[in-house]
Amino acid sequence: MLRAFLDASAWRPRDDLPRAPRALTILHRQAGGCDGCAMEIAALRSGAYDLARHCIRFVETPHDAELLLVTGNVTRAMAPWLMAAWNAMPAPKGVVAVGDCPIDGGPLGETYATLGSIAALELQGFTRCDMTLRGCPPSPAEILRGLLLLAAGRVVSA
């Protein structure tokens, strides 16, 4: 048990990630689902990934965000909240879909309680996701790599 704790305390993520050429401010919204991707985002926000070094900052209000990061299957109850957050964000703005659920509905798809993917939302000015990261759930390292590539101006769809 002690060895597992010591191994975990010495763990650091790989440092071969590209550097972000500009800062990113991100508003994360969990739209529904199992919270698997939301837990990976929480792990990403922990100190182990040192987001400040990569110029990535998560914010709590849409007025401060340039990216709306959506995880989970979009529920009918959460759709108005996502639209309100999107409309409150200043331009230029973008949408990032993390995990299978916001991309294609995941295992739930469209049901009486869910709209399915984020594409079902008719967000004002929303044409496509600026980044999609598949996985159920994608790892924090994969999410960070995608965000850094997006900051570098590359279209990410993995």
> Given 3-state DSSP classes, what are the helix, strand and coil percentages for the chain, each rounded to the nearest 5?
35, 20, 45
CB contact at 8 A, 19 and 54:
yes
| Cα–Cα distance measured from residue 10 to residue 28, given in angstroms and rounded to the nearest whole number | 28
Fold classification of 19-157 (topology level): Rossmann fold (3.40.50)
Predicted confidence at residue 20, as pLDDT, reads 58
Q: Tokens 């400040």 — which residue?
A: 52
Predicted confidence at residue 50, as pLDDT, reads 87
Predicted confidence at residue 19, as pLDDT, reads 60
Predicted confidence at residue 92, as pLDDT, reads 87
Kindly list the averaged pLDDT for each block of 10 residues, start to end, along the chain of length 158. 55 58 88 90 90 92 94 90 91 90 86 84 66 91 91 64
| Cα–Cα distance measured from residue 121 to residue 79, given in angstroms and rounded to the nearest whole number | 7
Instruction: Give strand pairing partners of 74.
Output: 116
Q: Which pTM does this prediction carry? A: 0.81
